[in-house]
Homo-oligomer: A and B are copies of this chain.
Amino acid sequence: MKKGCRYNCVPTTSTTTGCLCACLSGCSQPLLELVQQAPWISWPKISWLLFVFFSSDIEISRAQSPKAVDVLAKEIGLLTDEIEIYGQTKAKVRLSLLERLKDQPDGKYVLVAGITPTPLGEGKSTVTIGLVQALTAHLNINSFACLRQPSQGPTFGVKGGAAGGGYAQVIPMEEFNLHLTGDIHAITAANNLLAAAIDARILHENTQSDKSLYNRLVPVVNGVRGFSAIQLARLRRLGISKTDPETLTEEEISKFVRLDIDPSTITWQRVVDTNDRFLRKITVGQANTEKGLVRQAQFDIAVASEIMAILALTTSLQDMKERLGKMVVANDKKGEPVTAEDLGVTGALAVLMKDAIKPTLMQTLEGTPVFVHAGPFANIAHGNSSVLADKIALKLVGEKGFVVTEAGFGADIGMEKFFNIKCRASGLVPSVVVLVATVRALKMHGGGPNVTAGAPLKKEYTEENLQLVADGCCNLQKQIQITQLFGVPVVVALNVFKTDSPAEVDLVCKIAKESGAFDAVPCNHWSAGGRGAVKLAQAVEKAANQKNSFKYLYNLELPIVEKIRIIAQKVYGAQDVELSPIAQSQVDRYTRQGFGNLPICMAKTHLSLSHQPERKGVPTGFILPISDVRASIGAGFIYPLVGTMSTMPGLPTRPCFYDIDLDPITEQVKGLF
């Protein structure tokens, strides 16, 4: 076994009696088998290199030459003018395709979710990639994986890359993990332009008379004075139908020029795509030029921006622009919401986001297509990739094809939001849920010792322990039940590690099936690529033909607190919820402002079904504390904070970047994993 090969090379399924690691022992058969012709794939030159000493994720990624993205695009039926190529291996896909294929029936829609994970993650991304590799490269069925773009913060902090792993990866993984096609940078730019506009506006309103503000906001240009389009829209919202700037009364001018933002109500924060813990709480405006208008603020990680959520949920350019304009950034001194549109910045935000709205096409290690688009975290945001990528992919795969999309963290977190928020925005109906489990995580839920990133695993996790597995299956059972609340068939994918014993694997599959799963299948995609997920693919295909009675968990018309309670009780298993006075007053405010009918996006730890990360298994009898409630009006959800949730990760003592390097001669990236 080589460095970096963490999983079982001789797994329980006889079709995968070797993995590429086998080349160490001289067996090249698995390599040849692996390189099977897929319906979309024409590899004139398969360039698997010899892995003798190394097989870290990035080395595996690099050893496979990706096909040119224009070739891939052609294979999957995209027209030349429907793609915008970014280098050799990435392309943005134009939304015009949705219009061209509007009469084409959608493919099957598969969601990959998980049980409550350890801090190491249980391999949902590798399952997603392994599954599409199996479907397309091994079963000749069209498929598409739709993934989230990873944040660069964790990439250079503690997590490393997020392109999958082993022989189930998106390649080139360094392109996937770095700037990609700039979408998160565009979000950062748009988010921070709005933030700068808020504070600058407060400053200018504080230091100028109505008349002076009016003269500056509506200046005479080439002898003519006129309102801009966005100013005319504001006048209409204020009930002023005049269009000639010279005819406004003093009172109308005052209403028009003063947003009168109450600085204590600003909810719009600045963002960076860096793990910068010192920006968690800051004071801004301390230079003399800002005239003493200091206030406390914070930076969030860029993927926590509401603009990221909008990117993930929008259905068109028109829809995105409307959502951007509706974003509420603060209240005025009368308690009314102030929006991006009020600040005059909607058009500029849309311009900054005009390319980000197009999904990015990449490929798996086995040459099958992948969309990478949007990347909200699942604990502090809704944790799903974009509606647009899924919609386009569903058209491209055709009626018999499969689109596999992924929801962050456990099913209680990412999946619940997938159904109640994303499916509501898209109108799409999922066919199957794949629930990813590992023996490691189940042992933790069964009472095993703490699992910590960076520390070696305790022996409970490396030796057979059927009791721990059996006890921990309660979490799997609960997550299956949560899935069933939504009426969609569930297939359990057991992501097999080399330390898992056959008896442990069998036990998990048995309990999963007894708990209501349509099927439960061990998977070995990490070590064997798509071949290691063929059984999973077959199970998913069968499940997709099952009766499907998909339903949302709650009606939007219910009061905000009632919707929170339904999620807390039915999904998390809480006895009840308890709102802090701040949370309650925010609920009252949003209800009064007319935002009560939005779905709920819980910000909760992903490490437990409850709000307490240390409570594993299936906690019961707890009261879920709601410390605050916020609203993302543009994205379209109410966003309760469960306990304390950090929106800015930090750098550890030894960040990942210690191992990351660039060879200046070969231009190869080292140390991403």
Contacts and interface: CB of A to CB of B under 8 A. Distances in A.
Given A347-B670, A350-B661, A284 B287 contact: no
Interface stretch (A385-393, A400-408, A419-427, A649-657): A649-657
Contacts of A309: none
Contacts of A344: 655, 657-658
A179 B174 contact: no
A428 interface: no
A229 B321 contact: no
Interface string A553-581: 00000000000000000000000000000
A88 interface: yes
A345 B274 CA distance: 13
A87 B358 CA distance: 12
Given A156-B193, A197-B651, A216-B654, A664 B317 contact: yes
A200 B649 CA distance: 11
A157 B5 CA distance: 52
A189 interface: yes
B283 A283 contact: yes
Given A182-B182, A196-B274, A290-B277, A347 B86 contact: no
A295 to B, nearest CB: 8
Interface in A161-214: 174, 178-179, 182, 185-186, 188-189, 192-193, 195-197, 199-200, 203-204, 208, 213
Interface residues of A, number: 99
A670 B279 CA distance: 35
A546 interface: no
A216 B182 CA distance: 33
Contacts of A14: none
Nearest to A4: B222
A37 to B, nearest CB: 27
A464 interface: no
Given A348-B156, A653-B216, A658-B228, A277 B282 contact: no
Interface string A354-393: 1100000000000000000000000000000000000000
A471 interface: no
A269 interface: no
A250 interface: no
A657 B454 contact: no
Contacts of A200: 275-278, 650-652, 655
A82 interface: no
A350 B178 CA distance: 12
Contacts of A203: 277-278
B219 A278 contact: no
Interface in A7-41: none
Work out how many copies of this chain go into the complex.
Answer: 2
Nearest to A202: B278
A156 B220 CA distance: 20
A286 B290 contact: no
A313 to B, nearest CB: 16
Interface in A281-306: 281-287, 289-290, 293, 296, 298
Contacts of A293: 278
B351 A196 contact: no
A219 B454 contact: yes
Contacts of A197: 651, 655, 657
Contacts of A650: 200, 289
Given A87-B86, A277-B290, A228 B659 contact: yes
A321 B278 contact: no
Contact of A277 (B92, B193, B289, B351): B289
A196 B651 contact: yes
Contacts of A192: 272, 274, 276
A274 B84 CA distance: 27
A46 interface: no
Contacts of A651: 196-197, 200
A283 B286 contact: yes
Interface of A: 3, 84-88, 92, 152, 156, 174, 178-179, 182, 185-186, 188-189, 192-193, 195-197, 199-200, 203-204, 208, 213, 216-220, 222-223, 228-231, 270, 272-287, 289-290, 293, 296, 298, 316-318, 320-321, 344-348, 350-352, 354-355, 454, 456, 646, 650-662, 664-665, 667, 669-672
Given A347-B662, A354-B669, 8 more contacts: A84-B88, A200-B650, A204-B653, A217-B653, A230-B658, A270-B276, A272-B272, A278-B285
- Per CB-CB distance, the 9 closest pairs between chain A and chain B, nearest first, are A347-B661, A348-B657, A185-B185, A280-B287, A196-B276, A216-B653, A281-B287, A318-B664, A200-B651
